[in-house]
Amino acid sequence: MPDNPVALVEVEESLIGRYTQNMRFGRHELIADEPESVGGNDAGPGPYEFLLMGLGACTSMTLRMYAERNQLPLKRVRVRLAHNKIHAKDCLDCRTREGKVDEITREISLEGDLTDEQRQRLLEIADRCPVHRTLTSEIKVRSRLV
């Protein structure tokens, strides 16, 4: 474990149902599960839904920070996300050419008296949220038994 991790999250099986997980970060507790269609209890969102929620929250927070810093009349941000696996051959802008590619679709709704130029700038800023940058950069997951 790094000396000073950005976030230390703990996940353990709840021992209730096949896939239900108890997840903790500090004083926050959440439940993850799989839908009944794959043998779960549907007691909470699944791993991909949590991933999408993290990206959506980061996007919205980043846009809010930018709008406040630049005194933009942004009243509210809504972010809708979906995850799909698509055939690589159907993806014109993908490096991968075989198998499937993960595709996240993000729709951003901006409320407020914003100009077209401000809206376009906010769309560009959305790609600068830290979670977006993490997901689109090289990622190393290092696992070990303890």
Mean predicted lDDT score pLDDT of the chain: 93
User: In this predicted model, what pLDDT tens digit does every residue of 102-145 receive, in sequence order?
Assistant: 899 999 999 999 999 999 999 999 999 999 999 999 999 999 99
Residues 26 and 60 in one domain: no
Residues 81 and 140 in one domain: yes
Residues 61 and 85 in one domain: yes
Residues 79 and 113 in one domain: yes
User: In this predicted model, what pLDDT tens digit does every residue of 50-66 receive, in sequence order?
Assistant: 999 999 999 999 999 99
pLDDT band at 35 (very low <50, low <70, confident <90, very high): very high
Q: In the chain, how many domains are there?
A: 2
Residues 11 and 64 in one domain: no
Residues 31 and 79 in one domain: no
C-beta of residue 19 within 8 angstroms of C-beta of residue 36: no
Residue 29 has pLDDT above 70, yes or no: yes
Distance CA(70)–CA(26), nearest Å, equals: 33
Residues 109 and 139 in one domain: yes
Residue 2 has pLDDT above 70, yes or no: no
Residues 82 and 95 in one domain: yes
Q: Which domain holds residue 118?
A: 46-146
